[in-house]
Amino acid sequence: MEKVFVYDTTLRDGAQAEGISFSDTGKVRFACLLDDFGIDYIEGGFAGSNPRDRKFFNDIRKEKLNHSRIVAFGSTRRADVDAKDDVQLAGLLAADTEWVTIYGKSWLLHVSDVLRTTAQSNLQMIADTVGHLKVNGRQVIFDAEHFYDGYKDNAEYAMQALDAAVKEGASAVVLCDTNGGTMPHEAFEITSQVCKRFPDLEIGAHTHNDSGLAVAVALEAVRAGARHVQGTINGYGERTGNANLVTILPSLELKMGFNCIGRDNLKKIHKVSVISDDLTNQLGDPRQPFVGRASFSHKAGAHVNAVQKNPVTFEHIKPESVGNARHILISELSGGSNIKMKAEELGVDISAVDKEQIQAILAAVKEKEKKGYSYESADGSFKILLHKVLDQHKPFFELEGFRCIVEKRGPNEPCLSEATIKVKVKGETALTAGEGDGPVDALNQALRKALVRFYPEIEEVSLSDYRVRILDPKNATSAVTRVLVESGDGKRTWGTVGVSENIIEASWQALLDSVEVKLYDSE
């Protein structure tokens, strides 16, 4: 399997995205995560431009990396300054990394309108910068900014920009689709020409997703001969993002037969995607190819029946090859196969259940969905429903009543929320109160206080997400509301659902199921 080198620019280009930010410790943790994942190059940031990136290069030197090369990033020297006197290049050298990446202009439009210099001066800037870094013992990667656009505008000049870097000893040149407007077939044709011109050089591709084609353009570049691909985890990046390595890597490894990080490491890609979202405080995309929760989800009864017989019928790869798992969704479209496979997934033994009971479960699901329930993201509530229909449900406590109070004491004061709850547990009555950021949070706190004395494992449960959907907005404030709650105990997560015209009642139903799922599994 031919090697394609993988270059991650999440800490630099990815961090330029709106809403993406790493803490100092988060940057180091992320780099260590990528090292374990098998990424070849990790770009740490603009070494010469800001103190935070400089701190990263100091901190990462204290870590023992097993595979990855840390890369400092910068630009060519300024037009009116010698390379040895350029402050930004001095900062690049001060990062003390063996590998550095510099970007330079390869599109005459940028040379004239942005740099405000001559075409020859720009080529000299590229050559001087690469030469200066090489003299100082660095391995240099040259990112030819706007290369594909520059090539379409003036192919000869774009190639001259690469020549300037290569003649001074650049170890690799990277063709950038900085505006994200290149079509895949154009990338193939242009990259082919570059590979013919530099047959012994590492050619790379750096693509942006403004046309929704960043992954396709990168793959076409590889197909044309590039053996170095740049991107970010989860496609973070400026504007619409960069090429998504989480999509590129499985495509190269499993579809195109290249060796990037190896099949064993590829099984970690789901975890890498999830942890990256956690480090940047992002909600994961459930429909992200390969790693999203919906990637191997099946809902229609005919599809589930086929997958049960042979997964290849509706799955293009094995979910476990990318660290993911198959998910069977339950809805009014479900058939008996959905029920059986979902029950197995949830650890509920229904091997002895007859066809009539399966039909009873389907009927219960359809009746609930008529009222607004949805079990696609509420595995926990479906598990409780299974127990109820099969007469296996055992209530762990009995609600005697609850009350929620929301008080506002002035126009500039925050709302105060308090809830009291009275439950009967194991023959005893517990009455507790809780305060929270809102009435649902207060109710959750009160319920936990009431139960923890009888069921200490409740302490392990925390709410990680709370979502509200108005089902019939035309009814305004009297509309039916669906509440979805996601809970976890540090080992796994589960979703529960509640529906009512009253948002507090709907929330209560979801909270109740959430607690019962934990208690069932702890028996």
Domains of the chain: 5-257 (3.20.20.70), 349-384+461-523 (3.30.160.340), 397-454 (3.30.160.740)
Question: What pLDDT does residue 412 have?
Answer: 84
Question: What pLDDT does residue 478 have?
Answer: 64
pLDDT digits (tens, 9 = 90+) for 95-146: 999 999 999 999 999 999 999 999 999 999 999 999 999 999 999 999 999 9
| Coil, helix or strand at residue 398 | strand
User: Which region among 245-259, 269-283, 505-519 has the lowest average model confidence (pLDDT)?
Assistant: 269-283
Rounded to an integer, the average pLDDT of 46-57 is 82
Residue corresponding to tokens 């990396």: 65
Question: What pLDDT does residue 475 have?
Answer: 67
Question: What pLDDT does residue 417 have?
Answer: 92
* pLDDT-derived band at 328, boundaries 50, 70, 90: low
User: E strands, 180-315, where?
Assistant: 202-207, 228-231, 297-298
Question: What pLDDT does residue 57 have?
Answer: 92
Cross-strand pairs, 101: 73, 141
* pLDDT-derived band at 489, boundaries 50, 70, 90: confident
Which is higher by pLDDT, 136 or 53? 136
pLDDT digits (tens, 9 = 90+) for 214-257: 999 999 999 999 999 999 999 999 999 999 999 999 999 999 99
Structure tokens at 43: 């770009």
CA distance linking residue 484 with residue 496, whole number of Å: 6
pTM of the model: 0.71
Question: What pLDDT does residue 332 have?
Answer: 55
CA distance linking residue 106 with residue 173, whole number of Å: 12
CA distance linking residue 171 with residue 412, whole number of Å: 61
pLDDT digits (tens, 9 = 90+) for 291-310: 987 788 776 667 767 777 78
pLDDT digits (tens, 9 = 90+) for 359-398: 888 888 778 878 888 776 788 888 888 888 888 888 899 9
Cross-strand pairs, 72: 45, 100
CA distance linking residue 287 with residue 292, whole number of Å: 5
Of 450, 325, 330, 451, whose CA–CA distance to 384 is shortest?
A: 330
Q: Has residue 174 got a pLDDT over 70?
A: yes
Do 104 and 161 meet the contact criterion of CB atoms below 8 Å apart?
yes
Question: What pLDDT does residue 273 have?
Answer: 92
Question: What pLDDT does residue 425 have?
Answer: 92
Question: What pLDDT does residue 294 have?
Answer: 79
- Average pLDDT of the chain is 89
Question: What pLDDT does residue 347 have?
Answer: 73
Question: What pLDDT does residue 343 have?
Answer: 75
User: Which region among 38-42, 463-467, 495-499 has the lowest average model confidence (pLDDT)?
Assistant: 463-467
Question: What pLDDT does residue 333 have?
Answer: 55
Of 36, 44, 24, whose CA–CA distance to 68 is shortest?
A: 36
Structure tokens at 154: 């003036």
* pLDDT-derived band at 19, boundaries 50, 70, 90: confident
Q: Has residue 414 got a pLDDT over 90?
A: no
What letter does residue 76 receive in the DSSP assignment? Answer: P
